[in-house]
Structure 1
Amino acid sequence: MRIAVTGSVATDHLLVFPGRFAEQLIEGRLDRVSLSFLADRLDVRPGGVGANITFGLARLGLRPVLVGAAGTDFADLGRSLRAAGVDTSAVRISDRLHTARFVCTTDADQNQIATFYAGAMAEARHIDLAEVRGAVGGLDLVLVGADDPQAMLRHTATAHALDLDVAADPSQQLARLTGEQTRHLVDGARWLFTNEYEAALLQRRTGWSAAEVLHKVGTWIVTRGADGVSVLSADSPPLDVPAVEPRTVADPTGVGDAFRAGFLAGVAWELPYRRAAQLGCALATVVLESVGTQEYKLLPGDLVARLEHAYGRGAVRDVEPLLADVS
């Protein structure tokens, strides 16, 4: 299965605040917040949801296509992605804007406050997914991730017109999208990804109930942090998959992207959704234990051990034979 991931390409500026955001917020004064947090660590790393998800897919042995826009400073990022196995031929390079920037501060409770500067990402709307499909020799599945909103709408419409399976993943852009835009992105998707907070926000944006959302999509995957993942569909009972317990916690940035990579790899390998979600949870924990979203080491033996510890030999029996190309 050939998977294209449309979404942001960015540089992450990850800061750590040793205190707790909640202790700095004053009840009754949240309409006028003026705060500054003194961080005691800064890491500058490659990131962006599109780049992160394709990196994870490539680490699992697939050959994903990254579809997004970056600046002239993409050279080093591009080299590292290609070295990992990502096809970057569909990345548009701006001649006037820098690659997007993600600035995120994490507190002692793993809460995060982030700001995203679009930069060259705004040019993603000029990418024609039909041309990409022809250039790479065909596509089977397109994940439409957080990106320039006009690009997300265009890619969704094109993917449906080409009769490609669509995974809708509006995530951080739900705060920017209108109700009509959100409905357009979700309606007809075979898979919908949100976290628990985004699930509620999506219902508010669309005006649809949870049941109505499930009638618009094939399967709705809701990540719940330490509480695991729920896989929902209109015609079957909810499937709840517990999280894989981490050995340590380094940085939550990119954990959701890693889950998506693991889940979609499971889909590509035609695993049942339970196993795909378990693989996603295991990969997510590897990233949770690392600083940065594309620096983690992935070893087949380690991934198998995590799966066995969390889910038993059955999970290992189904997944281990598929991990021969893990890098």
Structure 2
Amino acid sequence: MRIAVTGSIATDHLMTFPGRFGDLFIAEKLDRVSLSFLVDDLQIRRGGCAANISFGMGCLGLRPVLVGAVGADFADYRSWLERHGVDCDSVHVSEVHHTARFLCTTDEDHNQIASLYTGAMSEARLIELRPVADRVGGLDLVVISPNDPEAMLRHTAEAIERGIPFAADPSQQLARMPGDQIRQLVDGAAYLFGNDYEKGIIEQKTGWSDEEILDRVGVRVTTLGPKGVVIDRKGEPSLHVPAAPELGKADPTGVGDAFRAGFLAALAWELPLERCGQVGNLVATHVLECVGGQEYELGQKVFLERLAGAYGADAAADVSGFLKSHYA
């Protein structure tokens, strides 16, 4: 299964605030918030939604095609991704902008406040999908993850025009995009990804109910943080997959991207949706245990042991024939 992952490619600047954001907001003054946070830590890591998703898929033995825009400072990052199984030959390199920067502060409850400087990401709207498909011999799925909004709309429209199934993952851009654009991104998607908060934003901004959205997408995948994931299809009962137990909590940045990587990998292996959710949850847990979206290792033996411990021996048996980790 040939999967192209479109979206942001960025450097993450991750900071930790030793308090709770909620304690600092005054209800009657939310219309004029003015806050600054003295942070205890700064970690600079590789990131970006599309890059994180592609990295996770590559670590599971797939070869995803990364589609996005970067600056001339991408050389080391490119080498890292390629060493982890990611096809970077369709990445556009800007002649004038730096690679995007993601700045995120996390409080002690793992709530986050973040900003993204787009930089070269603004040129992702220049990327055409047809040359990508021609180069790799066709595409079976295009993932439309958070990116330059015009790029997201263009890639969605082109996927529909060319009859390529697509997965809609507007998540981080929901706050910026108006309802009519979100409807364009969602309508006709084979898969729709989002967390439970984003689910509400999609419904509010589009004006569509949950049932109306299920009329327009094949599968709706809603992550619930520590409660796991719910997978919905029209006319079918909801499928709930509990979260995989974590060994500890370091930082939530990139957890959603890691879930998508695992889910898409299991989808490429043609496993049932329950297994897709289970693999996604376990990859997400690996990210939660590290600082940064690409600092984890998916050791084949340990991964299968943890999968069996969380979801049973049958789950591990179903995955073992496909898993080709870059790590022992």
TM-score in terms of structure 1 length:
0.98
Deviations 1:212-267 (A, max 9, x none): 00000000000000011000011210000000121100110000000000000111
Deviations 1:159-198 (A, max 9, x none): 1122111100001001111111111111111000010000
Deviations 1:122-144 (A, max 9, x none): 00000000111112222111000
Aligned length: 327
Deviations 1:261-301 (A, max 9, x none): 00001110000000010000000000100111112111011
What is the correspondence of 1:48-127 to structure 2 with a 5 Å cutoff?
48-127=48-127
Give the 4+ runs in structure 1 shifted more than 6 A. none
Determine the structure 2 residue equivalent to 1:6.
Answer: 6
Determine the structure 1 residue equivalent to 2:324.
Answer: 324
Determine the structure 2 residue equivalent to 1:181.
Answer: 181
Distance 1:83 1:92 in 2: 19
In structure 2, relative to structure 1, the CA distance for the partners of 1:90 and 1:324 (3 Å cut) is: closer
Query: How much does 1:326 deviate?
Result: 4.6
What is the correspondence of 1:212-291 to structure 2 with a 5 Å cutoff?
212-291=212-291
Distance 1:15 1:52 in 2: 18
Q: Please state whether the residue corresponding to 2:174 is helix, strand or coil.
A: helix
In the alignment, is the contact (CA less than 8 A) between 2:299 and 2:325 conserved in 1? no
What letter matches 1:51 in structure 2? A
What letter matches 2:139 in structure 1? L
Q: Please state whether the residue corresponding to 1:30 is helix, strand or coil.
A: helix
Query: How much does 1:74 deviate?
Result: 0.8
Query: How much does 1:157 deviate?
Result: 1.0
159-168 vs 40-49, which moves further: 159-168
Query: How much does 1:311 deviate?
Result: 1.0
What letter matches 1:101 in structure 2? R
Distance 1:309 1:240 in 2: 18
Distance 1:76 1:205 in 2: 39
Is residue 158 from structure 1 mapped to residue 176 from structure 2 by the alignment?
Answer: no
Determine the structure 2 residue equivalent to 1:19.
Answer: 19
Distance 2:64 2:24 in 1: 42
Query: How much does 1:84 deviate?
Result: 0.7
Q: Please state whether the residue corresponding to 2:130 is helix, strand or coil.
A: helix
Distance 1:231 1:117 in 2: 32
> Structure 1, unaligned stretches of length 5 or more?
none
Determine the structure 2 residue equivalent to 1:204.
Answer: 204
Query: How much does 1:325 deviate?
Result: 4.2
What letter matches 2:82 in structure 1? R
In the alignment, is the contact (CA less than 8 A) between 2:298 and 2:325 conserved in 1? no
Distance 1:223 1:132 in 2: 30
Query: How much does 1:302 deviate?
Result: 1.5
Determine the structure 1 residue equivalent to 2:35.
Answer: 35
Determine the structure 2 residue equivalent to 1:310.
Answer: 310
The alignment yields a C-alpha RMSD, in angstroms, of 0.9
Q: Please state whether the residue corresponding to 1:308 is helix, strand or coil.
A: helix
Query: How much does 1:23 deviate?
Result: 1.3
Distance 1:295 1:108 in 2: 21
Query: How much does 1:49 deviate?
Result: 0.2
Distance 2:186 2:306 in 1: 33
> Structure 2, unaligned stretches of length 5 or more?
none
Query: How much does 1:321 deviate?
Result: 1.8
